[in-house]
Amino acid sequence: MSTPRTQSLSRALDLLRALKRFPHGATTATLARATGLAPATAGRLLATLGDAEFVTRSDHGWKVGPEITRIAVRADPHRALRDRARPVLEQLAGAARESCMLAVPRPGPQIEILAQADGPRLLGLTNWVGRPVDMHASAAGKIVLAELSDDELAAWIRRERPKRLTPHTLTGRTQLTAEIARVRERDWATLDQESEIGLGSIARAVRDRDGALTAILGFSGPAERLDYPQLLAHLERGCQTLV
């Protein structure tokens, strides 16, 4: 027998979810229409949420309140993804015998490497979890840069002035724009000794059902050892598991 639900709480949660669509605020009437609630019901629920600071009221209407922020900063937004990906990373690293990593896009644009599983070979890779990454010299970074428009990418290149890390690093606007266009077309990227001599990588985008980039899976290892077509096949299967 299922546990009975509280209808008023469900309605209040619907109002909070609806506020995501109105970052500048929304009136009671607008939120009532968005949730299918009677205006009087929506008003009572919003007032109750306001008392607890889950919403606040301004000249533009209701907005998400500070209590939501206080709760959110204590949460790990990627815990579920990390937990779900861990067995996938371990399986991929074992099958490919190379280090496998999971990264997520961050504002900036930037990436954060959340988890890494290493293959059984003695010659492997440094653990990159939590370490800063040069976006132009990272296979996962290239995938995130491919989310930018051409104008946004040009502005990023002007602002960041990508550094030459090895003789193979792509730093010029023409080079980088062409490389990112290829990544944008195929949804995967490679790295051939562009961040460090002898290091190679391949990464594949993980997208949700709406096509939004949610994560990146990738392999890294000694460049001369990497079989890119084989590794890409492993990544394709891994990405399908994480969708």
Question: What are the extents of the domains in the chain?
Answer: 7-72, 79-242
Question: For residue 131, what pLDDT is reported?
Answer: 81
Task: Tell me if 7-72 shares its fold with 79-242.
Answer: no
pTM more than 0.85: no
Q: How confident is the model at residue 239 (pLDDT cuts 50, 70, 90)?
A: very high
d(CA 117, CA 120): 10
Residues 206, 242: contact at Cβ < 8 Å? yes
Mean pLDDT of 148-167: 94
Name the fold adopted by 7-72. Answer: Arc Repressor Mutant, subunit A (1.10.10)
Question: What are the helix (H) ranges across 114-227?
Answer: 139-145, 150-160, 173-186
Q: How confident is the model at residue 33 (pLDDT cuts 50, 70, 90)?
A: very high
* Torsion-angle region of 7 (φ positive above 0: left; ψ -120 to 50: alpha; else: beta): alpha
pLDDT tens for 191-218 read 999 999 999 999 999 999 889 999 999 9
> 110-116 contacts: CB < 8 A, separation 24 or more?
110/135, 110/144, 111/135, 111/138, 111/140, 111/141, 111/144, 111/216, 112/78, 113/140, 114/78, 114/81, 114/82, 114/85, 115/82, 115/85, 115/86, 115/89, 116/89
Name the fold adopted by 79-242. Answer: Beta-Lactamase (3.30.450)
pLDDT for 22 beyond 60: yes
pLDDT tens for 43-91 read 999 999 999 999 999 888 999 999 988 887 677 778 888 888 999 999 9
